Structures are given as structure tokens and as C-alpha cells.
Amino acid sequence: MTRLSRLLRTFAAFSLSALISLPGALVPQASAEALSRIKDLVDVEGVRENLLVGYGLVVGLNGTGDSLRNAPFTLQSIQSMLERLGVNTRGEQVNSRNVAAVMVTANLPPFATQGSRIDITVSAIGDAKSLMGGTLVVTPLMGADSNVYAVAQGPIAVGGFAAGGDGATVTRGVPTTGRIASGAIIEREIPFELAQMDVIRLALRNPDFTTSRRIADAINTFTGSLSAMALDPGTVQVTMPAARPGGVVAFMTEIEQLRVEPDMVAKVVIDEGSGIIVMGADVRISEVAIAQGNLTIRVTETPQVSQPGPLSEGGNTEVVPRTNIEVDDDSDARLGVLNHGVSLQKLVDGLNALGIGPRDMISILQAIKAAGALQAEIEVM
């Protein structure tokens, strides 16, 4: 081996060791568990569902339908349907409990083509007791523009049931709501030319300045150009690169698989109704001392009977009240100190060490926020 070869090998080994010893060299900015796909963080503008609704009749019920006296709209619907079929029932007495008026709802998925099928949900709007065994008659489903986009019909699958007699009734689930799998046929398509778009906007599901900037940077790094720009916390605009093979679909397939670390606001969510508390990982508090105690007063009444002594004259038997009062002021409760900038785990451990339940913890978190020591936003549901 020549002297020059030995010098080159020594220099390469020294350079590699120096690179590894550099602080932060070749160390990823975030762990793989903390990274999320762009696909899971954003919605593509224009790629969305549309809501459909319709009014129809369910027939074939075993006496569990609407009472026509209490549901006049059901009677009018029956008469109108029969007239379209050539049967005139105007002025006649109709008394049937085998028909129910229902509202039919469905979601029209994006890029749904004419002739494809979608699932629908059927819900009673009258006083029907159950839709079990019923069949939905042809029902047009309209969008917000009053145009018909699908037509629904078919037997209803109900998950709940109701049964009872004169003395008791048993109900499981909701028997007045059911579903029809693939129960509607799409008759009209919603035009949307995705392949012709030169600029695509990504809408963040959780708007945040840092997250939108990271998404734009990840796309720019992938494309090698400034094709993405964060317009605001909730929108990232992406310009299609020129002559991209595969078009918009291929480009979006590659973009949505890129991974970024989403950022979030330090927030404490409180549901006072159920006592649920959810705290984000970035919640921090300043140094604060906490004491928690309850004043409990227990009053017990134990009346006693007082009788006159044997052979006594003029005595009466009386009920004498006896009251026992116990007061618990939690005098053994201690004052706990939470240090400055503690993490979420230490905050929870500190509150649990004081023996605090969820209800009292809600009050304590609100008191810490009022004292200015909680560096997070509190959202009460």
C-alpha cells in the first residue's frame, strides 16, 4: 500500500468519526412514532362528500307503523302514492298501522359515478313503534340544490327491537331507525375535473401555523422546488410541477405519503357533565402550591322510645329524638407543591398523589388557570 493510499484511508476514517461525533448529525428531528402522513392531516379541496335527504314511506310493517289519526302527513302520503298508481282513496276511511313515514339520509361520496350504489339510513318521523320487517318504497334523494342525485328502495335492516305487554315493555337499541346496505342507486354525478387543476389547496383538519409550514416544507423538499406555500394556518397551496408524469393523481399519491410531525396547541379539554379531562402533551404549569379539602357534615337521626316506669301513674309513652352530628373537615389534607415547568406526567402524578378525583381535578385546573400558572388553553365542553 502506497503512502498516498494510507493517507486517504486515514483521512476518510477521521472524517467519518468527526461526522458521527457532531451534535445532532444524522439524528432525525422526530421519532417515527410522532410522524404522521400528510394524507391523515389534510383534506383536498373539492374532494368531499355531499349530503342527501329524502322523504318516503315504509310499508309491510306488522302493525308497528304510524297511527294515521296522529300522523296526518302519513295519510296524505299514502293517498298521493296510491293516486299515482291509479287508486283513488280520497274521502275514504283509511286505518292502517302497517305504513310509516320516514326520512332517508345518505352521503354521496366524491367522484361517485352514475349507476353505483351507496348505503342509506332510514328514520321514522311519526309515532311508529318499529321499522322491523319493513320495505322502503322508491324514494328520491336530493342535495342542497334540490336536484335528485340518487333513488333509494329496499328492505330495512333494524338493529333494535321492542316487545312488551300490559305490564312491562322491553326495548333494545332504537327500533325506529335502520339501514339499507347499497340501498340507493346514483342517478346524477357531481362534475369535478381534478385532472385539469393546476393549483391544489390542502385544508388542514386541525389548523396550525407550524403544521402548515412543515407540510409545505416537506412537499418542497420532495419536489425540489417551491411548489407549496402555507397560505394560513389551515391552508397549504400546492402548484402542480410542469410535465409531472402521471398527472395530478400520481402527484397527489406521492404527496399524501410524505410524513411530518404535526404540532398542537397546549390545551386542556374538560367535560363537566361526565367528568372527563383530556390534557395535551405540551401542557405546562408554573410553580404552584395546591391544597384540596372538603367539608363533610353528616347528620344521623336515631329516635328512641321513652316509656314511663313500672307502676307509675300519669306517665305517657313518647318518642324522643336523638341526633348525631359528625363533621369532617379533612384536617389531614396536605399542601402539595408542583414545580415550575413540570410535564404532563408529573402534573397528573402530583394531582393523583393528593387523592383528587376527576370532579375536584376540574376545579383545581380552573383555579390554576385563574392564578395564571397553567400555560395552556382550557376548553369546557
Q: What is the model's pLDDT at position 380?
A: 82
Contact 139, 151 (CB under 8 A): yes
Phi and psi for 285 in degrees, rounded to 5? Answer: -130, 150
Contact 246, 333 (CB under 8 A): no
Q: What is the model's pLDDT at position 23?
A: 38
Contact 182, 118 (CB under 8 A): yes
Distances (CA, A) of 148 to 49, 74, 120: 15, 22, 15
Q: What is the model's pLDDT at position 326?
A: 65
Domain residue extents for the chain: 37-45+200-260, 50-186, 268-304+320-380
Contact 214, 260 (CB under 8 A): yes
Q: What is the model's pLDDT at position 375?
A: 80
Return averaged pLDDT per consecutive 10 residues of the chain, 381 residues in all: 47 40 40 79 90 96 88 88 85 83 95 94 93 94 94 92 70 88 94 86 93 94 91 93 80 92 86 79 74 58 71 70 63 55 65 71 80 82 78
Q: What is the model's pLDDT at position 183?
A: 95
- Residue 34 DSSP code: G
The answer to whether the pTM exceeds 0.85 is no
Residue type, 100: A
CB atoms within 10 A of CB 286: 15
CA 175 to chain centre: 24
